[in-house]
A and B are shown apart, each in its own frame.
Chain A
């Protein structure tokens, strides 16, 4: 069955970096566009970034542009989100999601807390 499992979250100080991973199983990652979506505590869903099938095309939300980098390693069936210059406002649960137009499968999320 299709499964997405995020990892790499934790507590990090402002201005530091963190890399999230999303490991896919039950399907071939290379066949799908993939996204990161985040949700701050008690808030709604915010789209973060998208990467094309081959990793060559990427788009970002303005709130993370220049600080976050989305990438993928299809040989490892893994999606990544490199987060630099983290701010308190980046505190959220980060979900990876598979796109088939709509987002048909989501991971369970990994919590990133930015705090000194």
Chain B
């Protein structure tokens, strides 16, 4: 199985900060990587697919990059609505696997 490792696990930041979350795959997944945002009690919401494509309706302050085994999600200017948990997911092969999550907290 492909292991997905996110860092950091928790991130404290202020409104307006630039935030970067990293996701590493245990083997190459090309660009078959997605990023999701999840708020408490809600379903995950797709932000980025194929490593760098912004899902329709998602604000442009979110961006993704990377390929192979190393990927990043960047929020260019953190907004109050962005405090949530973020997950990466590989869909290169089954079983689909998720990172352990990164919680973005208010500093």
Interchain CA distance A35-B46 in the complex, whole Å: 15
Assess whether B46 is in contact with A104, with CB atoms less than 8 Å apart.
Answer: yes
Contacts of A102 in B (CB 8 A): 34, 46, 49-50, 89, 91
CB distance from A41 to the nearest CB of B (A): 11
Interchain CA distance A103-B96 in the complex, whole Å: 11
CB-based nearest A residue for B101: A44
> Which A residues between 3 and 44 are near B, CB-CB below 8 angstroms?
35, 44
- The residue that B98 contacts in the complex, of A46, A50, A101, with Cβ under 8 A, is A46
Q: Is B14 an interface residue (CB 8 A)?
A: no
Assess whether A101 is in contact with B32, with CB atoms less than 8 Å apart.
Answer: yes
Interchain CA distance A47-B46 in the complex, whole Å: 15
Interchain CA distance A13-B8 in the complex, whole Å: 37
Q: Chain A interface secondary structure, helix, strand, loop or mixed?
A: strand
Interchain CA distance A104-B46 in the complex, whole Å: 6
Interchain CA distance A56-B23 in the complex, whole Å: 33
Q: Chain B interface secondary structure, helix, strand, loop or mixed?
A: loop
CB-based nearest B residue for A49: B95
Assess whether A103 is in contact with B95, with CB atoms less than 8 Å apart.
Answer: no
Assess whether A59 is in contact with B94, with CB atoms less than 8 Å apart.
Answer: yes
Contacts of A59 in B (CB 8 A): 94-95
Interchain CA distance A45-B100 in the complex, whole Å: 8
CB-based nearest A residue for B34: A102
CB distance from A67 to the nearest CB of B (A): 16
> Which A residues between 81 and 110 are near B, CB-CB below 8 angstroms?
95, 99, 101-104, 106-109
Interface set of B (CB-CB < 8 Å, partner A): 32, 34, 36, 38, 42-46, 49-50, 55, 87, 89, 91, 94-101
User: Can you list the 5 inter-chain pairs with the closest CB atoms, starting with the nearest?
Assistant: A106-B43, A102-B49, A102-B34, A47-B96, A45-B98
A–B complex contacts, Cβ < 8 Å, 15 sampled: A44-B87, A47-B97, A59-B94, A61-B95, A62-B95, A101-B50, A101-B91, A102-B46, A102-B89, A103-B36, A103-B46, A103-B89, A106-B44, A108-B42, A108-B43
